[in-house]
Structures are given as structure tokens and as C-alpha cells.
Structure 1
Amino acid sequence: MSIKIVTKNKKAFHDYEILEKLEAGIELLGSEVKSIRMGRVNLKDSYVRIIKGEVWVFGMHISFLESTNPHYKPDEKRPRKLLLHRKQIDKWYGRVKQEGLAIVPLMLYFNERNKAKLQIALAKGKKLHDKRETLKRKTAEREAQTAMKYRY
């Protein structure tokens, strides 16, 4: 059994240069796990902050299910606490403060033990010319792949 990827944050790969990745658990409420299993989650405009020694993800949208109890519906875009070791939090907090880096969520998945995990990354923002260069390189690689495909 391998991991089951629920969603990826494609915008993060476009806007940031990924330096270091880490797996974090997420503190979820009620029917949020079911919603994630159904793929009703969006990481597009989400970001991670370290506040008072705790790691939080903001802007992650998890939709309700129709079967959810109408009296108990947690806010869809509420901040969610991430579960990490103290050593990892302190290390990343130091790098964010000193080097001016950002922490961004990359993908949400279920691991081998069927637990929801969020892959976060320490990232450096790309400038506009870097984004254009990456786009050119990807286009060139895609064209080379198609040329090789039709050649054989």
C-alpha cells in the first residue's frame, strides 16, 4: 500500500523555489476527514505561519459534506494546527526569521497508515524572470518528449 495523493498545490511550485520538504499531521474536526477523502479540499491560496511556537495553516479550504450535521459545521477556511516536533519547528522558525523564507503547503495525502498528512516546504519566492525561465524550460522539455515519442 502506498500514499494516496488527494490534492497538490501547483501554484506553490510555480511561485516558489522549494528548498526543504517536511511531512506534518493536521488537526481536523468532525467530517473534515471524509471531505478530504472525497477530494473536497483546495490548497491554492493557503500558507503556513509559526505563531507562539505552534505551526498553523491558513486558507486551506475543506468543503462541507451534505451529510454533515447542520448544527455542527466547522468553518471551511478556519486555521488548522499542524503537528510537528519541537526541534523541526524551532529549526524552520530560525530559517524563516533569518533568511526571509516562506513555508508553503505542497500536497495533502493519506500515508500508508491512512492518516491525513500535509507536505509543507521551506521555500524562497521566485522573481518574475525566474518564473518565465522555468516555464520556458518546462515547455522545451515537453516538446523534446513529444518529439522523442513520435520518433520511435
Structure 2
Amino acid sequence: MSTYLPSLAGGLLIGLSAAMLLLLNGRIAGISGLVAGLGRPAGTRWLADAAFLFGLVLGPPAFALLAGHWPEMRIAAALPVLALAGLLVGFGTRLGSGCTSGHGVCGLARLSPRSIAAVLVFLATGMLTVAAARVLA
């Protein structure tokens, strides 16, 4: 059971931060939208977007302080593959009017039909990608 506690705590913190951003600022915690907002002239909204994103960046160091070690990460893909994947994800978030955090966390919680459709497409695409990768490997 103790292996699930960090995931549960992380999920609760994500939900709490998304709810607070929506309730206090009227903004959806979609990371792609927040990052895009950093391209606007500095102002109150820009500062709130930057503060939220800065809080995300502080997650791993906070984990390291509390747990005594850095989170374990393993990236098995080559840099060109990662770069291509990042470009495709960026294109997809613009095409889909948001990313998994905006649609999956906030949109589903608000029962948004567009977000429900987007999440179904995310999941189906992920399953097809895994199936194709297993066949090709």
C-alpha cells in the first residue's frame, strides 16, 4: 500500500492546484496554454502563469528534499526521437486546443464534451502507438 501513497499525494496536489487556479484566477490549468501565455506582454495574468509553471519546475527539487533522493527517471529514446516527439506533441496540443492536463484533468472534471472527445483520442492514439511499437520491435 505504501507504494501508492506518493502517487495518491501527487494526484491530490495536482487536483488541488488545478482547482485553486480555476477558483482563484478563473484559469484552466492546461500547461500548453500557460506556456503559450508566457509569450504575451508581462502583466498580472503573465505573472500568474509564470508562477504556476515555476511551481511545476520546483516539483522534483521539492521531492528530493522530502525523500532524500531525486525521482528516478529513465529515458530510453535518442535525442532526435525526443525532439521529433516534442514537436509532434506541441503540434497536437495546438490542433486539439489543449493538452492532457487541460483536457484530462480540468476538462473531464468540468464534463466538457470537447475534453471527453480529446481524452478518448489521446488514449486511443496511445494504445495504437504501443501496439504498433510492439509489432515493429
TM-score, reference length from structure 1:
0.28
In terms of fraction of residues, the more strand-rich structure is 1
In terms of fraction of residues, the more helix-rich structure is 2
Largest Rg, 1 or 2: 1
TM-score, reference length from structure 2:
0.31
